[in-house]
Amino acid sequence: MIFALFVSALKVTIDRTLDVCQSGGVRIVAPYAAPAPHQKQVATLEYVKFLPYMESQLPDEQLIQYTNDVLGFIKYSLKRLSKFSLNGREQSFMLLQQEMENIKLEKSDIKKYTSSMQAGTEEQNCHSLMCFLAEVFADQNGDSFSSNARKILEAYEEKLNGDMLLTNNLQTENLKPCLDVVLENNKSTTELKIAEITLGSSIYSKVIPQILNSDPMLNVEYALIGLGLNKFDSDESKHQNILPIPWDFLKLSSPPSQIDSLDFIILDNILHCHDNIPDFLAQLQAMLKPGGFVFIHEWTTNLIIPLAKEVISTEIPISGERSLGPFCSEKSWSYLLTSANFDIIQKNSDGLLSSSFLCR
């Protein structure tokens, strides 16, 4: 027999057959009640376990079309790319071309994304990935192709942070539930200690406002640790009270001494860059305080898109242990995280390019 109660709009389900009581993300197995003894005793909770919340988005038609157009343009451009332009990186481009053979798309009409758009407009930033690819593949000047591609990437770095596909899984409706879980389970009611590991980009402009909107009185200690710190505006960092701390985490060196007992660690497309993911995950665990959280955002679907972005600007390692190049599928990430003794609290997939994991 199953009973359902509603307390403050929160559904509570009691299953007498399975002996389970559940409400939201809390499940009590084999609840037992007995008459209270005359002597006072302290109630004991045997264990607490989060029920993972898994969500897969249903992308809108506009985003699906944009994704297909990007894939189609990459395939068309690879066929036109001269071997003379590869400059010793034939192996990486060969991997791209082999993967593209499985994608049956025709040449994409990119004019709707690149024509009649003034540089820096909001519309162009929404499609900055396509504009970036179009500019790179339009320039195939032999040995200078690689260096030109890197210069174009540097010019587009900030614009790519507004691309509708690259940032789809970091929108407020996807990021806020994860931040709410962190805040609700924060033992300190006055401060929250956060570190974002970076290679020169950050999502602090998305994270900090949402946290302060939920709890304006909270003191947020935010540190940017890693490489490429010179790419950040120092005045803005000071205004946001963000502390930049250098750390070459790619070499598994010890983290800075002031980075410990963290409540929250953020990795936005950083984890795949590491050669030894299990060891780095163990290092992250040591940086967290008991009960701390890690937010991981990674490319997991249509991996040919981030691979193309990496290959045209630099030589990449090709690892047989990963799903494609340095990247992993959603299933592989789930396995790596659980093998490192992380509990996946929430998982969100946009179905087109990326997945995010909130772990504890």
Residues 10 and 95 in one domain: no
Residue that has been written with the tokens 């963000």 in this structure: 242
What pLDDT was estimated at residue 139?
Answer: 66
Q: In the listed set 160, 179, 207, which residue is the last one of a domain according to the structure?
A: 160
Angle between helix 61-80 and 304-311 (nearest 10): 40
Residue 177 sits in the same domain as residue 229 = yes
Q: How many structural domains compose the chain? A: 3
Three-class secondary structure of residue 301 per DSSP: coil
* Any domain includes 88: yes
Residues 209 and 261 in one domain: yes
Q: What is the pLDDT of residue 40?
A: 64
Residue 210 and residue 257 in one domain: yes
Q: In this structure, is residue 315 part of a structural domain?
A: no
Sequence-separated (6 or more) residues with CB below 8 Å from residue 78: 93, 96, 97, 100, 308
Rounded Cα gap, residues 52 and 256, in angstroms = 32
Q: What is the pLDDT of residue 7?
A: 42
Does 111 map to a domain? yes
Q: For the chain, how big is the Rg over CA atoms in Å?
A: 24
Give yes or no: residues 122 and 181 share one domain.
no
- The beta strand positions in the chain, using DSSP E, are 2-7, 10-15, 20-23, 26-29, 53-56, 191-198, 219-226, 242-246, 262-268, 288-299, 344-349, 354-359
Q: Which two tokens stand for residue 291?
A: 């009960």
Residues 27 and 132 grouped into a single domain: no
pLDDT at 280: 95
Same-domain status, 153 and 255: no
**82: phi then psi, degrees, rounded to nearest 5:** -75, 140
- Digitized pLDDT (tens) for each residue of the chain, 360 residues in all: 444 444 445 688 888 888 888 887 778 887 776 666 666 667 676 666 667 788 888 888 999 999 999 998 888 887 777 655 555 566 667 777 777 777 776 667 788 887 644 555 556 678 999 999 988 888 666 556 667 888 888 888 888 988 999 999 999 988 999 999 999 998 888 899 999 999 999 999 999 999 999 999 999 999 999 999 998 888 888 888 899 999 999 987 888 888 889 999 999 999 999 989 999 999 999 999 999 999 999 999 999 899 888 877 666 665 667 888 889 999 999 999 999 999 999 999 999 999 999 999
Q: Which of 28, 49, 70 is the last residue of a domain?
A: 49
Tell me the CATH number at 348: 3.40.50.150
At residue 75, the pLDDT reads: 85
Q: Is residue 166 part of a domain?
A: no
Answer yes or no: is 132 within a domain: yes
- Give the pLDDT confidence score for residue 45 in this predicted structure: 67
Tokens for 351, please give them: 């179905």
In a domain? residue 114: yes
- CA–CA distance, 16 with 19 (Å, rounded to integer): 5
Based on the domain organization, do 350 and 244 belong to the same domain?
yes
End-to-end CA distance of the chain: 34
**In terms of domains, do 118 and 148 share one?**
yes
Give domain status of residue 165, yes or no. Answer: no
Helix (H) or strand (E) holding 235: helix 234-239
Say if residue 305 is in the same domain as residue 273: yes
Indicate if the alpha-carbon torsion angle 206, 309, 155, 119 is positive or negative.
negative
User: What is d(CA 105, CA 94) in angstroms, rounded to the nearest whole number?
Assistant: 18
24 conformational bin, left if phi > 0, alpha if psi -120 to 50, beta if neither:
left
CA-to-CA distance for 130 and 118, rounded, in angstroms? 15
Distance from C-alpha of 177 to C-alpha of 179, rounded to nearest angstrom: 6
Q: Are 37 and 29 in contact (CB under 8 A)?
A: no
pTM to 2 decimal places: 0.82
| 344 in a structural domain | yes
pLDDT of residue 70: 92
pLDDT of amino acid 83 = 59
* Tokens describing residue 359: 């772990």
For position 180, what pLDDT does the model report? 93
Residues 102 and 227 placed together within one structural domain of the fold: no
User: What's residue 357's pLDDT?
Assistant: 97
Backbone phi, then psi, for 97, in 5-degree steps?
Answer: -65, -35
Do 76 and 224 share a domain, yes or no? no
Distance CA 285, CA 294 (A): 9
| Total Cβ atoms within 10 A of residue 286 | 9
Give the range of the structural domain holding residue 88, as residue numbers without chain letter: 61-160
Q: Which of 11, 28, 49 is the last residue of a domain?
A: 49
At 316 the pLDDT is 66
Nearest residue to 175 via CA among 353, 291, 348, 333: 348
Query: Which pLDDT score is estimated for 55?
Result: 83
